[in-house]
Amino acid sequence: MANHYLYLTNTRMVSLTARGGRLVARREFAVSGEGMEDFERHLKGLREIPTRVITDLIEEDFRLDTIPHVGFRDREAIISRKLAQIFRGTPYKYAMPLGREPEGRRDDRVLYTAITNAEVLRPWLEAIERLHVPLAGIHSAAVFSGNLLAALDLVFPQTLLVTFTPGEAVRQTYFRDREIRFSRLTPVDLEPGQTLGSMLAEETTRTWQYLDSLRHFGQDDRLEVCVLVHPKDRPSIEPALRDFAQIQYRLLDIEQVAAKLGLKPPPLGSSAEEVLVHLFLRKPVPNHFASPELRADATRRRARLLINQASIGILALGVGWGGFVASQVLRADTADKTSLQQLQSLNREYDEIVRSLPSRGVGGAAMRESVAFYNGNLRGFPSLLDFMLPISQVLEVHPRVQLMQFAWQTASDAAVTPTLTSTTPRDAPPVRTTKRDAPVAPPVESPDAPFANGRFQVALIEATVRMDGVDFRAALGEVDQLAVEIGKVPGYRADVVDSPLDMRPGVGITGKLDEREAATSEARFTLRVVRERAAP
């Protein structure tokens, strides 16, 4: 992906094009009418490439201030108000948080910077807007030049970075504990007999005196002056730079710096724009001065790219899914053909088996009668599970009742009663009833009896009810209530056949009372439950 950088100074506009993380093209234009025409023609060939403007101007102002440490919204409001107060006549302004004060209220430190003369940028930005070049941002070279010191591991408490700009100017940027505090640009205007080194020595000394007047230095502090210079300019600079107690000079060979940063080929002179742009490629910084209106074309371009990428992704996903579905269809078609062949083979085997079997001569009338019998009697024939499920739900609300056994049968007559051999509870009460009637022999079903159609389901349910001592009144009430609740189930009817204590005439009552009465006992009872199946 290509990127375009415009490095603007007061006398030069340098166009640098990067591809694949490397600078591949460079053009310079003079800040004049003819230079502007050449620049616009050059820009037409790069109008689709995202562009960033990097400024290195004399008109850049820097102000250090502190504000109270407040929440994010309040801090933004304070910073916006401060920017409007300090830089009234320019839209190109930026506030950079620098951290908090170490002592006192620990206020926030903020560096305010702006391009005080908007006319310096106006013709270049108008050309960019006319051609709808996607402007991604406007950045201050001084603000992000501290990244160069970090990349070269030049970290000192007090640092002055000195760089040369296109158009014969010197940028001095002061950093304290890696934070930018001050920057100034000085044109290189050598007097007769003055060397570039002596001019640098005078300017850096003057900068140190200014910073010292602002009490940036303590008695034991030392300013490390790092000068980025090309080897061909070193002989005219190095002899004049002499260290003092509070100033120490370090000459940074620009070719060695380029090799460490991976910049190929290295710059041909001491001008630092290629190094700074390459550094920006490695570690971009946020936009400083460009308003949202200036970045509108870049925003639309980014949105268009995102939409295109999403469309390509969706298309690729659709193609992949279509291929998967097609493979599944082919696989299913193959499986269907295999299944069809197996089915045809089975049908052939079935036909051969049927042809080999002797005919039994089953008539159509017998077949119709069998089907009618099945549909009328067997298809909807009742089951024991369906019969007992509603009864079990009723028994759940009667925890004192314990089911012992039951007998169930289907019949065509509701008067039929299944047989059930009674049992004696383990904890039977001392009082019970005795019947004097002769035992009745169970009916014997005739083998010629007609098939029961299952219209009625009849069951004898034998159970016990737990009672306190011999409290038969509560037991009788519990059993009667159980019969009533079963009778409320649709289609069911329940009658008490044997109650816990039968009080009818002709029934005897016997009992054996011990000296100590049992705390609880279980009284036996029997229910006859009938369910009638609804007519189809």
Strand partners, 135: 51
| Predicted local distance difference test score (pLDDT) of residue 349 | 87
Q: Which residue has the tokens 């090799």?
A: 259
The structure tokens listed for 150 are: 């970090």
The whole-angstrom separation of Cα 500 and Cα 428 is: 10
Cβ-contact 527, 418 below 8 angstroms: no
Strand partners, 511: 431
The whole-angstrom separation of Cα 55 and Cα 6 is: 8
From 207-221, 481-495, 496-510, the region with the lowest mean pLDDT = 496-510
Four-way CATH pick for 2-59+117-294: 3.10.450.50, 3.40.50.720, 3.30.1330.10, 3.30.420.40: 3.30.420.40
Q: Which residues of 309-347 are buried (b: 16+ CB within 10 A; e: fewer)?
A: eeeeeeeeeeeeeeeeeeeeeeeeeeeeeeeeeeeeeee
Q: In what order do the strands lie in the sheet with 492-498?
A: 401-411, 456-468, 520-532, 492-498
Cβ-contact 38, 29 below 8 angstroms: yes
| Predicted local distance difference test score (pLDDT) of residue 513 | 61
From 184-188, 380-384, 401-405, the region with the lowest mean pLDDT = 380-384
From 13-22, 48-57, 98-107, 116-125, the region with the lowest mean pLDDT = 98-107
| Predicted local distance difference test score (pLDDT) of residue 18 | 94
Cα dist from 15 to 42, 123, 278, 497, whole Å: 9, 15, 13, 110
| Predicted local distance difference test score (pLDDT) of residue 502 | 72
Helix (H, G, I), strand (E, B) or coil at 460: strand
Cβ-contact 391, 486 below 8 angstroms: yes
| Predicted local distance difference test score (pLDDT) of residue 423 | 83
Mean pLDDT score, 67-78: 91
The whole-angstrom separation of Cα 12 and Cα 30 is: 5
| Predicted local distance difference test score (pLDDT) of residue 204 | 94
Span 407-453, pLDDT tens digits: 998 888 888 888 888 888 877 777 777 665 544 445 545 555 566 66
Helix (H, G, I), strand (E, B) or coil at 440: coil
| Predicted local distance difference test score (pLDDT) of residue 451 | 60
Strand partners, 464: 402, 524
Helix (H, G, I), strand (E, B) or coil at 529: strand
Helices marked H in 357-420 — which ranges?
A: 364-373, 384-395
| Predicted local distance difference test score (pLDDT) of residue 298 | 85
The separation between CA 252 and the C-alpha centre of its own chain, rounded to angstroms, equals 48
| Predicted local distance difference test score (pLDDT) of residue 32 | 85
Give Cβ neighbours of residue 268 (< 8 Å, ≥ 6 apart): 230
Q: CB count, 10 Å around CB of 215?
A: 7
Does 240 score more than 90 pLDDT? yes
The whole-angstrom separation of Cα 214 and Cα 295 is: 38
The whole-angstrom separation of Cα 259 and Cα 270 is: 15
Cβ-contact 48, 290 below 8 angstroms: no
The whole-angstrom separation of Cα 215 and Cα 510 is: 119
Mean pLDDT score, 270-282: 94
Cα angle vertex 420, ends 415, 426, to 5°? 140
Share of the chain above pLDDT 70, in %: 90
The whole-angstrom separation of Cα 499 and Cα 521 is: 15
Amino acid at 270: S
Mean pLDDT score, 243-270: 93
Span 297-351, pLDDT tens digits: 988 888 888 888 888 989 898 898 988 999 899 999 899 899 999 999 999 888 8
The whole-angstrom separation of Cα 84 and Cα 68 is: 18
Mean pLDDT score, 63-78: 91
From 20-34, 236-250, 263-277, 442-456, the region with the lowest mean pLDDT = 442-456
Amino acid at 155: V
Q: Where are the domains of the chain?
A: 2-59+117-294, 384-532
| Predicted local distance difference test score (pLDDT) of residue 438 | 46
Strand partners, 114: 61, 93
Span 442-493, pLDDT tens digits: 554 555 556 666 788 999 999 998 988 778 888 888 899 999 999 999 989 9
| Predicted local distance difference test score (pLDDT) of residue 33 | 83
How does strand 456-468 pair with strand 520-532? antiparallel
Spatial CA neighbour of 124 closest among 9, 211, 221: 9
The separation between CA 355 and the C-alpha centre of its own chain, rounded to angstroms, equals 67
Pick left, alpha or beta for residue 370 (phi over 0 → left; psi -120 to 50 → alpha; otherwise beta). Answer: alpha
The whole-angstrom separation of Cα 86 and Cα 105 is: 24
Helices marked H in 292-379 — which ranges?
A: 296-356, 364-373
Mean pLDDT score, 39-51: 93
Q: CB count, 10 Å around CB of 34?
A: 9
Does 230 score more than 80 pLDDT? yes
Euclidean distance between the first and the last CA atom of the chain, given in angstroms as a whole number: 80
Helix H or strand E segment including 361: none
Summary mean pLDDT of the chain: 87
Exposure on the CB side of residue 279, measured as CA atoms within 13 A? 23
Does 369 score more than 60 pLDDT? yes
| Predicted local distance difference test score (pLDDT) of residue 445 | 52
Helix (H, G, I), strand (E, B) or coil at 379: coil
Exposure on the CB side of residue 488, measured as CA atoms within 13 A? 8
Q: What is the 3-state secondary structure (H, E, C) of 219-237?
A: CCCCEEEEEEECHHHHHHH
Spatial CA neighbour of 93 closest among 41, 138, 126: 138
